[in-house]
Amino acid sequence: MDKPIFETLEERVLLSVTPYLPGDANQDDVVGIADLTAVADNYGRGDGQWTDGDFNADGIVGIADLAALADRYGQRCLAAAVALTNSTYVHQTDWPVFLTVWQAFGPNMDPGLLRPDGFHVFDADGTALRATIRRIPPEFSVGSDEIVFVVPHLGARETRTVRVINVDAAGCTDPIDLAGDPHNLIPNGGFEAFAGSVPTGYTVRSNNGVAIAADE
C-alpha cells in the first residue's frame, strides 16, 4: 500500500479554535448555563458574534440560536487540530488518513469522556469530511480505535489542518472502501478472482512450463 498521509498533530488537544458545537458561546466545550446567559444578554442584537450567541452566523442573536442551544444543552465537545502534510510532489485526491483516537486526544484522556460513535472531522472551512471508525481491540477502550477520514484534495507539499471533534451526536457513518482505494499499491483488490487460470488483472508469462492455478 502506498504510504498514506501521516498525521502530524499541531496540538494534541485544541479547545479554543473555531467551535463546531452550536450553543457553546464561551467555547469551554460544554453547552451550559453560561452559554444561555450569553444568548439572553445579547438576544436581539444585530451585530452578534459567536461568543454573543450568534451560532448560525446570520449576524442576529435570535430564536434560531436559542433553539440550537436548547437542542444541545448539556452536550460537551472535545476537539483536536490535526495538521496533514502531503510529502509528495504530486497533487493528491481522496487520500485516506488513519488517526488513532489516543493520538488525537492524548494518551491520558479518560475514554469515558468520549462517545465511541461521536467522532466528526471538519476541513478548515467547516466542511464535514467523509469519515468512519475502525474498532480496534481491546473492546473496553475507544483509545485504540482509528478515525479514518478522506481528504478530498491536498496539493503537492501542502499542509492542511483539519479539526476532529467528539460530541454527543453520532457521526462517522459514511462507508469507506479502503480495499478498493486507488492509493493501494495493488489497485486490483479482487485479485483472487480468476479468468480461467489467470488472476484477473494479471498477465502470465511462460517460464519453463510453470502454470498458475487457483487454490480452491
User: What does the block give as the cell for 61?
Assistant: 442573536
The answer to whether residues 99 and 5 belong to one domain is: yes
Task: Please give the model's pTM, rounded to 2 decimal places.
Answer: 0.55
The answer to whether residues 161 and 86 belong to one domain is: yes
User: What does the block give as the cell for 186?
Assistant: 495493488
What range defines the domain where residue 198 resides? 186-216
Maximal C-alpha separation, the chain: 86
User: What does the block give as the cell for 115?
Assistant: 462517545
The answer to whether residues 160 and 206 belong to one domain is: no
The answer to whether residues 61 and 102 belong to one domain is: no
What confidence score (pLDDT) does residue 191 get?
Answer: 53
What confidence score (pLDDT) does residue 42 get?
Answer: 95
Flag whether 96 is in a domain.
yes
Q: Which whole-number Å values give the CA distances from 208 to 23, 111, 117, 197, in the listed order?
A: 72, 59, 55, 17
Q: Quote the CA–CA distance of 31 and 177 in Å, as a whole number.
A: 35
Low-confidence ranges of the chain (pLDDT < 70): 1-21, 77, 108-109, 169, 172-174, 179, 183-216
